[in-house]
């Protein structure tokens, strides 16, 4: 099967709630995850994050297929979207239990 993108991991739609915020800043914001891959995430939220910054994300899936996830990301892009901002991040680490 040929995949047209030049990515190491295929993006999978993952519509679920996400809490996000800068590492070390105790003010999380609520958003919505749009898609997820083995190395990155795209989500929408009301508060922008500056590219290059480290953030922590908490995904709470309502599906049994995708367990909850807490991870550290590096923000790679942040653009205005219909509902707030579209934020893309590279997953740098998974936080254990």
Q: What is the CATH number of the domain that holds 40?
A: 2.40.10.220
Examine residue 6 and state whether it is found in any structural domain, yes or no.
no
Examine residue 3 and state whether it is found in any structural domain, yes or no.
no
pLDDT beyond 60 at 64: yes
Whole-angstrom distance, CA of residue 13 vs CA of residue 7: 15
Examine residue 69 and state whether it is found in any structural domain, yes or no.
yes
pLDDT the model gives residue 11: 64
Examine residue 5 and state whether it is found in any structural domain, yes or no.
no
pLDDT beyond 60 at 87: yes
Q: Structural domain of residue 85, as residue ranges?
A: 12-94
pLDDT beyond 90 at 39: no
Examine residue 29 and state whether it is found in any structural domain, yes or no.
yes
pLDDT the model gives residue 51: 97
User: For the stretch 47-69, what's the b/e string if a residue is b when 16 or more beta carbons lie within 10 angstroms of its beta carbon?
Assistant: bebeeeeebbbebebeeeeeeeb
Q: Is the pTM of this model over 0.85?
A: no
Domain count of the chain? 1
């Amino acid at each position: 099967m040929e995949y047209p993108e030049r990515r190491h991991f295929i993006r999978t739609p993952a519509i679920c709630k996400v809490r996000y915020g800068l590492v070390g800043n105790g003010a999380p914001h609520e958003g919505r995850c749009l898609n997820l891959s083995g190395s990155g995430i795209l989500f929408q939220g009301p508060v922008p994050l500056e590219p290059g910054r480290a953030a922590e994300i908490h995904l709470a899936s309502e599906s049994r297929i995708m367990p909850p996830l807490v991870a550290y990301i590096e923000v790679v892009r942040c653009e205005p979207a219909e509902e707030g901002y579209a934020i893309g991040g590279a997953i740098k680490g998974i936080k254990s239990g």
